[in-house]
Amino acid sequence: MPMPTILIDAPTIHERIRAMAAEIEREYPSGDEIHLVAVLKGGFMFLADLVRGMSADVTMDFMALSSYGKGTTSSGQVRVLKDLDSSLESRHVIIVEDIVDTGLTLHYLQDILRARAPKSLRTACLLSKPSRRQVDVHVDYIGFTIEDRFVVGYGLDYAEKYRNLPYIAVLEGE
Ligand code: IMP
């Protein structure tokens, strides 16, 4: 198995996520509830740290979409594998995603969630690889912008492995 090399270490990630949580809270009227929709599986660790940095009333739900499977390139095909448990109508919704790469997944997700009539819809991504973008997709909060490298850790996988790493890494030999 290829060896992971640290690209963004754990303290840097935590500091950035704390700042993102504070920025998000500042931008919503105080007293308003914020509903976070995390995309499984990659978004679970980002969500867990993001919500721990927030003191507003927060609710959360999870959605699973088809992803790359075992490869590292986008198929461009997106399917809902697990839908949300509750309605988004009249709620402040934030999509919580691990990474925006080609943008195809997020573009699709934003379209289907917007159709569910939320009061507002924003997107928070831990990572962005702008050089890979195939569709113009708007992301309100970006943790880190990275180059076109395949990364793992902090929720992100390669063939379902490495999600548990507490840092973002690139795979040597990749
Ligand atoms: P997109 O549709 O090309 O933007 O891809 C989004 C999804 O692909 C992400 O939610 C990840 O699950 C996966 N992905 C994209 N780039 C990487 C990477 O560098 N490492 C691990 N997964 C990735």
Query: Does 159 map to a domain?
Result: no
State the Cα–Cα distance between residues 40 and 53, nearest whole angstrom: 20
Q: Whose CA is nearest to atom 16 of ligand 1?
A: 101
Task: Give the pLDDT confidence score for residue 70 in this predicted structure.
Answer: 46
Which is the catalytic residue, given 49, 61, 98, 101?
Answer: 101
Task: Give the pLDDT confidence score for residue 73 in this predicted structure.
Answer: 55
Q: What is the pLDDT of residues 28-40, one digit of tens each?
A: 998 999 999 999 9
The count of domains in the chain is 1
Residue holding tokens 């195809």? 104
Q: 97 CA to middle of ligand 1, Å?
A: 9
Query: Does 170 map to a domain?
Result: no
CATH of the domain at 135: 3.40.50.2020
The interaxial angle of helices 44-52 and 10-26, nearest 10 deg, is 60
The DSSP string of 135-169 is S----SEEEEE--S--EEBTTB-BTTBSTT-SSEE
Question: Which residues form the domain of 80?
Answer: 9-150
Active site residue 101: yes
Low-confidence ranges of the chain (pLDDT < 50): 70
Q: What is the pLDDT of residues 148-159, one digit of tens each?
A: 999 999 999 999
Query: Does 56 map to a domain?
Result: yes
Query: Does 96 map to a domain?
Result: yes
Query: Does 162 map to a domain?
Result: no
Query: Does 143 map to a domain?
Result: yes
